[in-house]
Amino acid sequence: MPELPEVETTRLGLLPHLQGKCIAQVTLHCDTLRWPITKGIEKALKGMEILDISRRAKYLLFDVQGEYNVLSHLGMSGSFRLERKGFNLLTHDHVVWSLSNNAQLVYHDPRRFGAMMLIKKAEIAMHPLLCKLGPEPLSREFSANYLAGALASRKGPIKTTIMDQSVVVGVGNIYASESLFRAKLHPDMPACNVAQHAEILVKSIKSVLRDAIASGGSTLRDYKQVSGELGYFQHRFDVYERKGQPCVACGDAIVHAVHAGRSTYSCPTCQAQRGIRKKH
DNA sequence: CCTTGAACCTGCGGGC
DNA sequence: TGCCCGCAGGTTCAAG
């Protein structure tokens, strides 16, 4: 479910409730998500204060007292919510952190593609899940110059390339289609041919992600903000899941395609391949 | 190195 | 009603 905007919305929702609170108890209702939940996590976190929550790519990083931080990923269907003591445990509520003020942090993930693991603070930068990630899309590091260089050796379609987390992090299946629409670039364009349009693509990715964060992310099926409120960026999709509906810019029907097994949506007119003249 | 496809797992909606 | 199929916001791994 979550791309960068949903993870960032989760972080922003959790932070004011968790920062400065102590973890009284951790309860596991499941051993394994995508990987086993770190053995001994209950003991390692007990009594520790939550100092901060940060985000890298689509990972949440809980900075807690002691030797370890907690690295978590929401996979396709994961979410965090806050409850009160005595709450009704739902199916797929896999982990509960009981806080010192009786608030309960619940990790819920039907498909269990997510993750929760301890990592040593000293090893964050070199952690295998984090060390090969590309730049943060909303940072200055993600520039036209950088992207042009990253695309130069890539011949695959631009859509799958911007979803490659070693090129740029945080862009998933929704925001890839939305970004390419804003940039007026066809998803099938070979990535190396997009190097010359890197500036508009960088701007489009940044603006889509910023707008989505400002809207509390997108709720397609089950994603909710920490408060339980739905995201509402889905009401502002230009192309995603709009097959056959009129393009917001030109009125032509949005088309659906598949790239690397994932659905892609685009406007065949607005995103006609740049640099290729229409035949007549 | 780059790319693709399969795998992980559950739930839901559509067609028959 | 029930079953089977395809599909769903991600990532890793193996193989070409």
Chain segment A108-144, per-residue pLDDT in tens: 999 999 999 999 999 998 999 999 999 999 999 999 9
Task: Provide the pLDDT confidence category of residue A275 given band limits of 50, 70 and 90.
Answer: low
Joined tokens for residue A100: 């010192």
Measuring from the CA of residue A259 to each C1', which nucleotide is nearest?
B4
- Per the residue annotation, which of A5, A6, A11, A58 is the catalytic one? A58
Q: Is A228 left (phi over 0), alpha (psi -120 to 50) or beta?
A: left
Helix axes A173-183, A198-214, angle to 10 degrees: 130
Q: Using a 7 Å cut-off to protein CB atoms, list the covered nucleotides of chain B.
A: 1-12
Element (H, E) at A182: helix A173-183
pLDDT above 90: residue A226: no
Mean confidence (pLDDT) of chain A = 94
Element (H, E) at A255: strand A255-259
- How many C-beta atoms surround the C-beta of residue A152 within 10 A? 12
Closest CA to B1 C1' — which residue? A153
Q: What is the pTM of this model?
A: 0.95
A52/A69 Cα distance (integer angstroms) = 10
A122 to each of A68, A77, A118, A119, A175, how far by Cα in Å? Answer: 9, 30, 12, 8, 33
Those residues with Cβ within 8 angstroms of residue A255's Cβ, 6 or more apart along the chain or in another chain:
A243, A265, A266, A267, A268
Measuring from the CA of residue A92 to each C1', which nucleotide is nearest?
B10
pLDDT above 60: residue A277: no
The predicted-structure confidence for A53-90, as pLDDT tens digits, reads as follows: 999 999 999 999 999 999 999 999 999 999 999 999 99
Joined tokens for residue A237: 């999709």
